Amino acid sequence: MITVFGLKSKLAPRREMLAEVIYNCLYLGLDIPKGKHAVRFLGLEKEDFYYPFDRSDDYTVIEINLMAGRMEGTKKRLIKMLFSELEYKLGIRAHDVEITIKEQPAHCWGFRGMTGDEARDLDYDIYV
């Protein structure tokens, strides 16, 4: 599950490309097949989004929810890849991006009628 926050006027025209960049980075960085995660965009009106004074209107927050298990270096590589790709492909400066990875144990996930620790058919490895 991924949530992207930003100004509605900036997020709306970039949604498709943002999702593509995120999917590509998850695939390259974590070997998660493209389209395996849901991406939600929360576009806010300017009066509803207070962000640091030294950021531009491109300020974007990305929250990534994962099952726990990835190594620290793997997560750091994913974050740096996202910074780089967002700047290269969308022109969003790294200074205008905040990324958080939130991890929960597999038993705290529920999908396809089971909990994450019961799933034996994932087509990617969470211990990378």
Is the confidence at residue 33, as pLDDT, over 90? no
**Whole-angstrom distance, CA of residue 125 vs CA of residue 128:** 7
How crowded is residue 14: how many other Cβ atoms within 10 Å of its Cβ?
Answer: 20
Q: Could you read off the pLDDT of 98-118 as tens digits, one per residue?
A: 999 999 988 887 777 877 777
* Closest by CA position to 60, among listed 37, 42, 35: 42
* Phi and psi at residue 67, to the nearest 5°: -70, 140
Q: Where are the domains of the chain?
A: 2-118
Q: pTM for this structure? A: 0.90
Q: Which fold has domain 2-118?
A: Macrophage Migration Inhibitory Factor (3.30.429)
